[in-house]
Amino acid sequence: MRLGLLASGRGSNAEAILTAIDDGRLDAQPVVLICDRAGAPALEVARRHIVPAELIERASYATREAWSTAIRDCLLANRVDEVALAGFAAILDPVVVDAFEGRILNIHPSLLPAFAGSVAPEPQAAALREGVRSSGCTVHIVTNDVDAGPIVAQAAVPVLRDETVESLSARILVEEHRLYPEVLQWVAEGRVRIAGTKAFVDQAP
């Protein structure tokens, strides 16, 4: 499985995925990491793991469509089979989503469909504001409806007394780093099926 990563910031999920590949827990070949922000730590993560990094910034393109087309063409040029959004802070346009239909995964720091449509740390802050007793993370397939594609896996964490956005985010992040490489391995094994609005994971043979 030729894997493309898209990241905008810290890059800890990219780090977890690339470490799983290095350790032999994830059978994938990371062929490119695309970043839309100059200076993002995610670029350094790619460099350390010897993965080619491409900076494709929105500001370098006249239109959003031209920028999206550049992202799509970079993924196609690298013959990417599967795309993992790993802290990619922008919404992907249909030009990318349609070219890789059903083959783009995202991780979101809440139990979707709760607290959709915003980027970290807003979903964690919303969980505290609403007083929910559990939150967590969701790996889902990306469609043109933001944060609403088929759910592949979730991990729940309890919301503790005296919780802060930082403490909740940190405990959710531990689960993100465990879950995302695991789901990618299921995809590599051909075990994730999409049926309408739902995803199903077949048993390991």
The structure tokens 């670029």 sit at: 43
Per-residue x/- mask for ligand GRF, residues 158 to 187, rule CB under 6 A?
------------------x-----------
Select the residue interacting with ligand GRF from 120, 139, 152, 159 (CB under 6 A).
120
Contact 187, 102 (CB under 8 A): no
Q: What is the Cα–Cα distance from 78 to 139, expressed in whole angstroms? A: 24
Q: What is the Cα–Cα distance from 91 to 71, expressed in whole angstroms? A: 12
13 sits near ligand GRF (criterion: CB under 6 A): yes
**Geometric angle at alpha carbon 148, from 147 and 154, rounded to 5°:** 75
86 sits near ligand GRF (criterion: CB under 6 A): yes
12 sits near ligand GRF (criterion: CB under 6 A): yes
Catalytic residue among 49, 108, 140, 177: 108
The end-to-end CA distance of the chain, in Å, is 19
Q: What is the Cα–Cα distance from 189 to 133, expressed in whole angstroms? A: 34
Cβ 99 to ligand GRF shortest distance, Å: 21
Q: Which two tokens stand for residue 160?
A: 């503790």
109 sits near ligand GRF (criterion: CB under 6 A): yes
Cβ 179 to ligand GRF shortest distance, Å: 10
Cβ 18 to ligand GRF shortest distance, Å: 11
Q: Is 108 a catalytic residue?
A: yes
Other CB atoms within 10 A of residue 168 CB: 23
Q: Which residues bind ligand GRF (CB under 6 A)?
A: 7, 9-13, 86-87, 107-109, 120, 137, 176
Residues identified as active-site: 108
